[in-house]
Amino acid sequence: MISYVTVGADDIALARRFYTALLPALGYGVHEGPEGLSFVLPVAEGARPSLPDFYVKPTFDGGPATAGNGAMVAFEASSQQQVRDLHAAAVAAGGADEGRPGFRPNYGANFYVSYLRDPQGNKIALFSSNPDEPGRDN
């Protein structure tokens, strides 16, 4: 099980603008401290934490943050409409479109996805595979 994912950022304010445009809508709360941004899912009293957490931090070694070649973090949305809405919000908040929302021919018939780059260049996917919505072949 993945416990957490961390991406680096040189400009935490710009990263905050981008990630708060989409992650709170997916249920994540945010905490900002001197170590950067922490996005976590709520935990009911007496329950185990919902994972994974997502962290946006300055680099540990003080060097510039760089995006991993081939690395990507995917967040599941509840619907195709939410994928479209969050993709638009993230682009408006400083992200870059890397693939407009829609179905892809090589993916499952219900896998609706969009791709973004955060302001630091990290690749982010937003997807829905809700079987109650029309699929690619409908």
In tens, the pLDDT along 72-86 reads: 999 999 999 999 999
Backbone angles phi, psi at 73, to 5 degrees: -115, 130
- Superfamily for domain range 4-128: 2,3-Dihydroxybiphenyl 1,2-Dioxygenase, domain 1 (3.10.180.10)
CA distance linking residue 79 with residue 81, whole number of Å: 5
pLDDT of the residue at 22 = 96
Which residue(s) pair with 58 in the sheet?
Answer: none
Query: pLDDT by residue (tens digit) across 98-138?
Result: 999 999 998 999 999 999 999 999 999 999 999 999 999 88
Q: What is the share, in percent, of the chain residues with pLDDT greater than 70?
A: 100
CA distance linking residue 21 with residue 15, whole number of Å: 10
Check: CB of residue 66 under 8 Å from CB of residue 121. yes
Helix (H, G, I), strand (E, B) or coil at 81: helix
**Strand pairing class (123-128; 112-117):** antiparallel
Check: CB of residue 79 under 8 Å from CB of residue 113. no
The gap from C-alpha 80 to its chain's centroid, in whole angstroms, comes to: 15
Which residue(s) pair with 54 in the sheet?
Answer: 5, 39
The gap from C-alpha 130 to its chain's centroid, in whole angstroms, comes to: 18
State the DSSP code for 130.
-
CA distance linking residue 11 with residue 19, whole number of Å: 12
What is the arithmetic mean of pLDDT over 32-53? 92
Planar angle of CA 104, 132, 100, nearest 5 degrees:
30
